[in-house]
Structure 1
Amino acid sequence: MPPFDVPEGDPFGPHNLPYGVFSPAGADGPAGPAGPGAGRRVGVRLGDRVLDAGAAARALGSPYASLLARPSLNPLLAAGRTTWSDVRRALTAWLTVPSHRETIEPFFHPLSSVALHLPFEVADYVDFYSSEHHARNVGRIFRPDAADSLTPNWKHLPIGYHGRAGTVVVSGTDVVRPSGQRKGPADPAPVFGPSVRLDIEAEVGFVVGAPSRPGTPVPLADFREHVFGLCLLNDWSARDIQAWEYVPLGPFLGKSFATSVSAWITPLEALDEARTAPPARTHPLLPYLDDSAPGTEPGGYDLRIGVEINGHAVSGPPFSAMYWTAAQQLAHLTVNGASLRTGDLYASGTVSGPDPDQRGSLLELTWNGRDPLELPDGKRTFLEDGDVVTLSAWAPGAGGTRVGLGEVTGRVVAR
């Protein structure tokens, strides 16, 4: 048995150590009597327990105590790659060297007893569209007579849109069914009301730590200098609102009502064994996006995602199939001189694979409602009130281990 009683094979063992923000049992909640944020502190997950990282750091006389004794991850994110690595090494030692056990044991909390909060203050939010399988499915659904299911620019740049940072919410937050304008092909005029085609998008989010200067693009090679880690993300989508509004400027109200993220941010260093080459490129890339140079590190990640509705598995999208990598997305996001801020979040876009049971949205899984899903609790084309969607994932780690990613859940409620 490893130190601190983590079962062999636990995906949240000392090889993982994701960061979050929590309130212990009995502390004030998000808006308790002591004010918003009272009682919150940085936590590190180990198995089914959470370590109060700031309290442990103080008890051990760590120079990182001030970074870890905060109600948000933002100060740690802003500290940069060298500090991230140093803190991770220190945490690994605290949690694996038996002589530290007596000192830090009092600072563990059962995961089931704590409240988990949004782990960082989101500065900006950008969502990409980087799965070729997803993009081709969408093209076939909406442009069935087109010569090519992809738009002409798709193989030349990572397409994206700028979302709304203020509606990024932590896993477990209810999602209120959005209202807006919608107009079916046969309708004479648009109507207003709750969305009747509420969907999910299984995605991976990347969290920016170190900022960049305005006017200075971030090259592919600097990805790990700026990105702290990743998380699972559900980009909820009202397809009927989106279909009516998106021409010519793209998603707006059909996306901006809620984006759910995991309460746990997995450091990139925990996923070194999961790095993999992306799919073969079919078109030459401009130099700032070209990741084929000799010596270039693989830019993809082998993440195995699971999608459940009301506890029933409906899909298993493979992140390794994503055409555009997170490094390319970051390079494109900044190539015009746009700067990064600590807490920026950018998402991969819907993750879909080549097989029907690997599609990351109900739009694809039901082919825009034509082929309903047969679930034990009834058929689904799009989400109904009361439905609970859960995203989970794991990645291969060193020595046959698995690295777990914190799950994302959300329940749809009526307005």
Structure 2
Amino acid sequence: MSVKVSVLMPTLNVVKYFKKCIESVLNQTLRDIQVIIIDAGSTDGTLQIAEQYVRNDSRVMLIHSEKKSYGYQMNLGIKAAEGEYIGIVETDDYIALDMYEKMYLIASGNGVDFLKEGYTSFIDYNGTELVQKNISERIKSISGKVLDVCSDLSLGNLIFVSIWSGIYSRKFLIDNDIFFNESQGASYQDIGFSLLTGINAKKCMYLSECDYYYRLDNPNSSVKDDNKIFCVKYEFDFLIDWFKKRNLLSDTVESIIDSAKVGSYLWNCKRLSNEGRISFLSVVGSEIKKIEKKIQIKPTYISDDALNRLNELNCFINYKEKEFKKDELSFSDFIEMVSQKRKFVICGAGVRGKSILKYERITGQKFVIGLGDNSKELRGKVIEGYTIESIDDLISLFPNADFLVANKKNSNDIKTQLISCGINENKIYILNESFSLQMLVN
């Protein structure tokens, strides 16, 4: 059999999710695949399940990793791969049954170094899967086009599209000596791999499909860990060293890395505790100053998106001794707060507000105590059993409640309105992404 795609599946104590994951890989409509399980010492039964699949399917091989390092595991897999392309499936996730067939046909037909697409995030709730497609408008606009990301700084953000929702030419990886950073544990090694592949690729492609299903409710995958304060910095140190050793650190490469660095450092600040954030900024502050000096010389040194993130990052740097509350919530942040039995007044009866109410109905969790909107035309209308009221009236009714702003266009104005009416800023949260929950039809 000529292997078209080798699928790398790193495992470490994922017995709860592993069978569903590997079944979705083995049942691909693309039959000419190689499945490489790289286990880092599982003790919960995962290893025994893997061994059973090795006995039952000749396409499956098992590699034992003596190190608990995600990067080391992945590198073992790359070196063992025989396929024309290499894919990655995290073993608490799963994939659509025709994902690799579609990807392979398009990637091989266009001779690209890698192909990526969006993904679908999901949670299990009482046996029901709730899903949310994640695909940017930017990707939609360039879907199906062959690109050279390094030739256009505005495309730099595409590099960070998740590494597992794609396939990579094995020849491209080997010829360019692209491997993962073998740092300890699972410590954001995907950052380095994303940038190495994105910068070195001459031909790549992005699709507006969302065939990879990314789990949000695995408690063991949380990144909120102050033990990993500096791992993001170490990943960028690894990158700079990689390019320097090969004499490839051009001005363009450095600008792409610095654009990515600003976004990653900002993300790290937001996820850390206040104490952890202060420690992190005390170490990376000099790096940020160097980037700012480069911008003074060349205002277009980093992308516009990165410049906006730099301004936000400077808010943390300038006020690093103060406590910061994470007021912007992602989909997963929102789910976590609901699980903590928090109750909210929802400010916004549009797409985001309706999605929140739909989530409440589907899950049966009661966390909404009021629904408000500033639009007079919406007052008195009923959505999911809640009558839309004015936000000012709800402030009077629930002065001590948590307020969740679910309005994309006017979120900052609503936050200002709430504060001016006496709501403590620590009780205000902003949903920073749209999500449309729906029942997953298998």
- Greater gyration radius: 2
Normalised by the size of structure 1, how large is the TM-score?
A: 0.24
Normalised by the size of structure 2, how large is the TM-score?
A: 0.23
Structure (1/2) with the larger helix percentage: 2
Structure (1/2) with the larger strand percentage: 1
Structure with the larger RCO, 1 or 2 (CA within 8 Å, 6+ apart): 1
